[in-house]
Amino acid sequence: MKPYIGGTSAKKIWNGEWLQVYNEIMGITPKEDLTKVFPVQLGSCTEDLNLEFQFRNQGWDITGAGRQWQHHEDEPLRIHGAGYIACHPDAVLEIDGLYTVIDAKHTYPGSFIAGETQEDRLTSSYYWQLTHNTQIVNAHFQTKAEWMILSPIWGNILGDIIKIKVNYKHMAQLREREEAFWWHIINETPPESKEGEAPEPVEIETSELPTLDIEELKNNNWANEAARILATEESIKENKEAKDDIKIIVNELPVMYGKVTGYGIEVRRNKKNKLSVHIQ
């Protein structure tokens, strides 16, 4: 198989780890044997199950046009005229006539960084891989995707999909770095370390959670707790208990919302997944 820059290598190229990728592609240093890395193999074993359940939960077509490409294919997708830029996407989904890359990931829940959600951690880890894969899928299917999707399993829980907005400025910057890197492969010239020249971290745009007007659901529990909050605003202790109880109601809803409103009360969810109660 012809050598190419894959999604994992694309992230390293963006981060300035050019010499490491060069040595791997040129066969100077062997690639890591991932068959002996348990988390990687666990992710491989659960990938199809992940996608099967996620497609079913989202109501996506898992046959035909629904899953246009599978990682089991031996030959990767390549950009015509730039075959060194290639990938093995886990799945490609047609949404409103646009082809969207989906990556299935099995990872641990939470984050070790204060203030960072597990969604933030996963998004930043795979952003450049998704961006790399999306440019190839765009070229292959003659489309211009709007979103990239991660389907996570957190421990033993299938999480909600993470939709990441495609940033075409970032994609062009990544392509420029990949082309500059490939010059070294063609000319068999080891690159100097680029780690000190890695670009500044970029802001990643993900989809916003929807807003629910819970009055439409005629949720009596919410109505009762909302009434308690309004009636006991001056009573700090009882007010806190009511707010805690109404947060429990929000967390028990079948869908995660960014904002829930009704009966004069609004509950907001911030980027750290923390709930706060406000009087409208």
C-alpha dihedral (271, 274, 278, 280), degrees to nearest 10: 40
Give the integer Cα–Cα distance in Å for 67 and 82.
Answer: 24
Structure confidence at residue 106 (pLDDT): 95
- Tokens (6 digits) for 18: 């050019």
Question: Under a CB-based contact definition with an 8 Å cutoff, are residues 262 and 222 in contact?
Answer: yes
Structure confidence at residue 70 (pLDDT): 52
- The neighbouring-strand residues paired with 103 are 150
Question: Under a CB-based contact definition with an 8 Å cutoff, are residues 5 and 182 in contact?
Answer: yes
Structure confidence at residue 240 (pLDDT): 85
Distances (CA, A) of 173 to 42, 97, 135, 199, 273: 33, 26, 12, 10, 31
φ, ψ of residue 51 to 5 degrees: the values are: -65, -40
End-to-end CA distance of the chain: 62
Element of type H or E holding 18: helix 18-25
Got the DSSP string for 230-258? HHTTT-HHHHHHHHHHHHHHHHTSSS--S
- The neighbouring-strand residues paired with 279 are 265
- Tokens (6 digits) for 104: 């299935």
Structure confidence at residue 153 (pLDDT): 96
Structure confidence at residue 234 (pLDDT): 76
Structure confidence at residue 17 (pLDDT): 92
Buried b (16+ CB within 10 A) or exposed e, 63-89: eeeebbbebeeeebbbbeebebbbbbb
Give the chain's domains with CATH numbers: 7-197 (3.90.320.10), 211-279 (no CATH)
Give the integer Cα–Cα distance in Å for 92 and 168.
Answer: 18
- pLDDT mean by block of 10 residues, the chain; 280 residues: 87 92 92 85 90 87 52 73 90 82 93 86 94 94 90 94 92 94 95 69 70 81 88 80 91 89 91 87
In this prediction the pTM is 0.70
List the beta strands (DSSP E) in 25-90.
77-79, 82-87
By three-state DSSP, how is residue 274 classified? coil
